[in-house]
Amino acid sequence: MKFFLTLLLIGAAHAQQYPAQPVKLIVPFPVGGGADIAARVVAQHLGTELGQAVFVENYGGAGGTIGTSRAAQAAPDGYTLFVGTPSTHGTNPAVYSKLPYDPIRDFTPIGLIGTSPFLLIAHPSVKAQSAKELIALARSHPGELNYASFGNGSINHLGLELFNSLANIDAKHVPYRGGAPALADLIAGRVQYTFDGSAALPAIRAGQVKLLAVGSAQRWHVFADTPTISESALPGFELTTWYGLFAPAKTPQAVIDLMNTKLNAALAVPQAKESFAKMGFDPAGGAPDVLVKKVRDEVAKWTDIARQKNIHITD
Give me the domains of the chain, ranges plus CATH numbers: 2-116+241-309 (3.40.190.150), 119-232 (3.40.190.10)
Residue 32, pLDDT score: 81
CA atoms of 161 and 180, how far apart (whole Å): 20
- pTM for the model stands at 0.88
Question: Nearest-CA neighbor of 28 among 62, 56, 68, 55?
Answer: 68
pLDDT of residue 4: 44
Cα 134 to Cα 294: distance, rounded to the nearest angstrom: 30
Q: What is the pLDDT along the chain (315 residues), one digit of tens a residue?
A: 544 444 454 455 555 689 999 999 999 988 888 899 899 999 999 999 999 999 999 998 888 999 999 999 999 999 999 999 999 999 999 999 899 999 999 999 999 999 999 999 999 999 999 999 999 999 999 999 999 999 899 999 999 999 999 999 999 999 998 888 999 999 999 999 999 998 899 999 999 999 999 999 999 999 999 999 999 999 999 999 999 999 999 999 999 999 999 999 999 999 999 999 988 999 999 999 999 999 999 999 999 999 999 999 986
Residues 208 and 124: their CA atoms lie apart, in Å, by: 7
Structural contact between residues 87 and 155, judged by C-beta atoms closer than 8 angstroms = yes
Query: What is the pLDDT, as a whole number, of residue 6?
Result: 42
